[in-house]
Structures are given as structure tokens and as C-alpha cells.
Structure 1
Amino acid sequence: MSGLLSRRQMLSAFAASGLAAMGAGGLSRAFAKPAEGLEILGAPNGSTIVLVRLLASGGLNAAAPGSTFRLWRDTDDLRAAIVSDRTRLFTTPTHVPANLANRGLPLKLFCILSMGHLTVVSADDSIKDLKDLAGKDVLGFFRNDMPDLVFRACLKGAGMDPDKDVKLTYVQTPMEAAQMLVAGRVTTAVLSEPPATAAIMMAKQAGKSLYRAVNLQTVWRDQHNGLGLPMAGIAVHEKLIEDNPEVIAALRTGLVPAKDWVLANTAAAGELAQEKMGMKAPIFAASLDHFNVVATGAKALKPGLVAFYETILSMQPDALGGKLPPDDFYLDM
């Protein structure tokens, strides 16, 4: 008979000191180490400010000492960081981790940070709803990517054909679209935040008027039985959950207070966004009311996410890797 303790004996011994209270996984969690030197990546959209605030407030210092933050440039940059194990935590449009998970990367969607930030902005104050766009020129951005797919889906939901009932043209970025709108080169554009706020502010300075003509989040809710538009959130690698549960616990504890601080301190949030995200503080602060910032677990918003993903699949299956993510993709917060 070997003198080594059996696994059952070991667990029984640790249980006496409370270390195995969580069952078979208790041993690894009891000795889990902080996630030292974690590279945290942020999507270049406004809702990332919630995670930036959590970091700036020291909310991850104990769980992830020496962590760094940077904005990721594109999905190739993000994927490379995930595959090389440089990052296990990042903010993202919600379709990106679903796509990568369906293509074999062990990712989970932890929470939602934004319930949409898309607006039809126009110099034509006669435009009140989507049907008023019939026959008109509309400038979009990121063709065949999420903002374009959302706008097209909303048009279809209003009984319109995006390819026939409106005259859609595209530029590469939302700021390019905002600048063309301010310059009077186009009358109407689909914009994200903060470019929509920037366009309205720049137009006012130039003695012109631009209007938020159609809120696409409101249209989406009306067309989807009250379900919102969960467009951006935080995703995590399975290894972070397994190896560094303290980080997950710190996120669960700190994200809601971080969100509340951002919404209550818009000027300071603008300064933080300028420092950490390269966004102009006054414009960012003025646009916060239009980000629809939240901090809600992905599992709690699963019905809305599934509706969002199903809409994407019906229009561009490759954007999600051809299928819905599995049920365990959605985490509690």
C-alpha cells in the first residue's frame, strides 16, 4: 500500500481547513495566483471607459498586479494577442468573441457594457423616423460590419429594402462620416458615439444645425419586443476563469461602481478617456448620455444577445462563424 495520500484523503484533509469548500475544483482555486502582468485590451469605443475606470481606481490591483492596458486596433491584433496568451481579458463588440469562440478559441462573454450607440444624424429636420429616409442619400461606415448590419436590419424591420429604398454609400470610419456631414458634403449619416456628438458640436461651432433624427436603439427595441441592442461588452479567456478567479471576482465587485462613477462624473470620465483612450475630453463627456452604458452579466441579457446574433446570422453568417455560440458562452456577473 503506497504511503501517498489518495485524492479523496487529500480533499478531506483540505476540507477540514475550509480549502475544499467549493468541491473538486477547490484545490486549484485555493492556490490560484494573481494574474501578474496581464495585458488588458480595450475596443476603441466609448463603453470601454467603464473598464478603464475600474483599472484607474485600483480595482484590479490585487487580482492583477502590474497589468497594462491598450486599445486593440482590429480583430487580427486582438486574435494574435489571444492566441499568444498575451491577453485573457478585453472589451469588445459582442459579435467578435462569439465569432472567435465558434472558430475554436476558448472565450466567454462576461458582461455587457453598452446597449448600443448608433444614431441617424441629419441636417434635414423633416426626418423623424426610418420611413422618412425613403429615396434619400444616407452615408454609412464599416460596410458589412456591425453598424451597417444593425442599420440594414432596422430598415428591413420597418418594411424597407436597404438596397432599393435608400441610397447608401460608405466611408471607412465614423469620424470620416461625421466630418463629411459637418462639411455639408452629405445631408444624412449613420454615426456611432462619440462621432455623432462630435458632428453636432462641430456643426454648431460652424453656425450649422445637425439633429439626432433616429435613435437606432429605440427602433431596435420596438422591432424586437422590447429586447435591447447589446453591442459591446467584456470577454474573457477560459484560462482566466480557471487560473485567476480573483480577477473574475474583482470584475464582479467593481464594474457596477465603475459604471456608476462614469455616469456621475462625466467631465472626469472625459479626462480619463482622453488620457487612456485618446478621445477628446469635452466631446467624450458630452456624448456619455448617448452610450447607453450598463454593467450587466451576459447571461442575464442572453435573450437580447440571441436575438442580436440571430439577426446577424440571417444577414451575414460569417460574422458569427456561421452559428450561435454555445449556451456556456454567456457568463453571470
Structure 2
Amino acid sequence: MEMHRALANGRGPTRRAALAGALASVAAGAAGRAAAYSGEGLEILAAPTGASISLARVVEAGGLAAAAPGATLRPWRDPDELRAGIVSGKTQLFSTPTHVPANLANRGLPIRLLCLLGAGHLYVVTADERVASFKDLAGKPVLGFFRKDMPDLVFRACAKMEGLDPDKDIQLSYVQSGMEAAQFLAAGKAATAILSEPPATAAIVMAARQDRILRRAISLQDVWSRHRHSHGVPMVGVAVRAGVFDQAPGLLAALRDGLPQAKDWALANPGEAGALAEKALQMRAPIFEKALPFMNLDIRSARAAKADLVDFYETIVAVSPDALAGRVPPDDFFLEL
């Protein structure tokens, strides 16, 4: 239901190894392979996260029809699917957690980051009325998901910014996905959890049906912004294969014009956006509509957001050195929209 589940199945290092292994093999065996794309029939793979709604709207509204005739969009569900698209050359453009294209670029694949789609969608959701800040999590059990990957890394970085050691000061445990964590929280099997959107909204709605009250006690975006002096957490973006705009010269302009308009449309028309999310991204429309105000949709050029992205990458690498193959990607990784 959200992007992190889509990256791989499994837990912790196994899941990280699956992602790194599946995608790094692209760089090892296919980095120099000629792209199959010829300017028509562009297949866009979308990370199944709410921030992909802007990209889905551009395609649905025909914004790419002239620049990329026959362009289609569908959500990717696991790294093997993304890998297959990249290796075949069919996948020239995709939405993704921003650490994925950085990892690929650092491993030698000609992948670039075009723009951001969102400024973070992670929250600490709780039934505990005493929790209002990170210091209130000290000594308490907190349920997370996808250990040592994006949600966990951002939470750990925020905890350290707030003066806590996440391994010593917080009783962290993990389940496999955001929706599993949401279900545990809604059922009263956990008091506090780290959740992305829309699972955070799903948990609140499910709990309400059982007369239980859950709330978003901490926005990780707010914590990050306060300490890093940034505009949210640059977690979700659009990546492209180098050279795609040479094959479809009008595509860049179409995205430059279309994505901001699509974001504004989604925010102004939550019901229609929910219906599109269900159709294009396989999300439940009512939950998407309720979650939309908390998704922090944000269209920014990767070049314009470079300072935030570099700081984000450096912070993540400090928490987990292997997260981006150990370094920030080179300057030409950050494109201008």
C-alpha cells in the first residue's frame, strides 16, 4: 500500500541485501546496455506511495501525450520488477524513494534524479496520551517496520537529533510492513508505532471503528526540518535514465509544466485524487483522501533541492554507511526540472 513494502519482502539486512543485490546487478551487467526506448510507448513505473499521485495525474490527464505518445503508468511492487524494467530499457522514468536512484548511480548505472514529489510522510502514531515529543518515547516500546531501511533510518536519525540513542533509550521492535504495523496499532497490540502515509491514516480509521483513539503525536518531517533547517524530508522523487530526454525532447517540458499542476489538482480535488489513486496506484480511495493532507506533496527540481538532498544523504549514510553505497552521488546526478 505504500512504497516501502514495494522495495522487497523480508526483514532487516535480508531485505536490504535483496534490494542491493537485485539492483546492483543491473550496474554490473547492464550499465552500458543501449536503452530500448525510442520515444514512444514510455512505461512509467510508480512507487506505490501517495506522492506518486502527481505523476499519475499527469499521465491520466494526457499531459505526456504529445511528448511521449502511448505513455503508461503502473505501480512497481518489488526490486525485481524495477530491475527488469531498467535492464530491458523499458523503464526510463520511475518514481521512487530517493535513496534508490542514488544507490544505483553510485554503483555505475546511468540514473539521475529529476525532481522531488514529496517532503516526507512519516509519523509517530500513538494511543499514549503522554507522548508529545521524542523525549516522551524514552523507555517506551515503539513498533517500526523495515528495519535498517528508509522509515527506520529517518526515525533513528531524528531520535539522535533529539538526543536519544534509538538502540538504548527506545524499545524498538519491528514488523514486515507499514500496514502490518498499522494493524497491530489499530488492534491495540502496540501502543506506539512509526507509520508512513497512508497506513497512518488507515490505523487511525481502523482504531476508531473499535472506539480506540490514535493520533499523530510526532511528525518526523517537523523534527527533521527543525534540526536540519530543511524543507521537510526529501524522501520521494522521480528518477530517469540518462538520455531519455534526448529521445523524447518534449518530455522534460511536459513534466515541468504538468507536475506542479497535478499536485495542485490533487490537493484541490481530494475525492477525485482518491479515485485516481485507487485506479492507478491500487490504494483505497477513502483512506487516500483522508491521508492526502498529511502526505506533504512537494514538486521541486532535484537541482533546486540539492542542498536538502545532500544533507539527507549524508545524514542517512552516517546512520547506515551502506545505505547509498557509502557516499553522496556526483553533481550530475541532480537534474534541473
Conserved 8 A contact 2:58-2:259: yes
Contact 2:198 2:291 in 1 (8 A): yes
Which of 253, 256, 265 is the aligned partner of 2:260?
256
Q: Which runs of 5+ in 1 are unaligned?
A: 1-32
Query: 2:178 is aligned with what amino acid?
Result: P
Structure 2 partner of 1:238? 242
- Tell me whether 1:97 sits opposite 2:125 in the alignment: no
Once residues 124 and 143 of structure 2 are traced to their aligned partners in structure 1, the CA distance between those partners, rounded to angstroms, is 9
Note the C-alpha offset of 1:91.
Answer: 0.4
Percent identical pairs in the alignment equals: 58
Identify which of 145, 148, 161 aligns with 1:144.
148
Counterpart of 1:136 in structure 2: which amino acid? K
Name the CA distance, whole Å, in 2 between partners of 1:258 and 1:225.
27
Contact 2:119–2:231 (8 Å) recurs in 1: no
Find the counterpart in structure 1 of residue 314 from structure 2.
310
Instruction: Determine the structure 2 residue equivalent to 1:281.
Output: 285
Write the distance in 2 (CA, Å) between the matches of 1:84 and 1:96.
Answer: 18
Aligned counterpart for 2:81 among listed residues 73, 77, 84: 77
Secondary structure of 2:90's counterpart equals coil
State the TM-score, normalized to the length of structure 1.
Answer: 0.88
Structure with max Cα Rg: 1
1:123 positional shift: 0.3
What is the 5 A alignment of 1:1-333?
35-333=39-337
Q: Shift of the alpha carbon at 1:227?
A: 4.2
Unaligned runs of 5+ in 2: 1-36
TM-score, length-normalised on structure 2?
0.87
Structure 1 residues 180 and 99, CA, compared in 2 at 3 Å: closer, same or farther? same
Q: Shift of the alpha carbon at 1:268?
A: 0.4
CA deviations on 1:156-193 (whole Å, 9 max, x unpaired) are 11111110100100011100000000110000000000
How far apart in 2 are the matches of 1:245 and 1:134? 53
Counterpart CA distance in 1 for 2:98 and 2:199 is 20
TM-align CA RMSD: 1.2
Asked if the contact 1:34–1:65 (Cα under 8 Å) also holds between the matched residues in 2, the reply is: no
Conservation of the 8 A alpha-carbon contact between 1:34 and 1:63: no
- Conservation of the 8 A alpha-carbon contact between 2:124 and 2:220: yes
Amino acid at match of 1:118: L
1:245 CA displacement: 2.1
Change (3 A) 1:181 1:228: same
CA distance in 2, matches of 1:258, 1:243: 24
Q: Distance in 1 between the 2:243 and 2:79 partners?
A: 20
Structure 2 CA distance for aligned equivalents of residues 140 and 66 of structure 1: 40
Q: Is 2:59–2:72's contact at 8 Å kept on the other side of the alignment?
A: no
User: What amino acid sits opposite 1:39 in the alignment?
Assistant: E
Q: Which runs of 4+ in 1 moved over 2 A?
A: 74-77, 225-228
Asked whether the 8 Å contact 2:313–2:328 carries over to 1, the reply is yes
Whether contact under 8 Å (1:142, 1:172) holds in the other structure is yes
Amino acid at match of 1:113: L
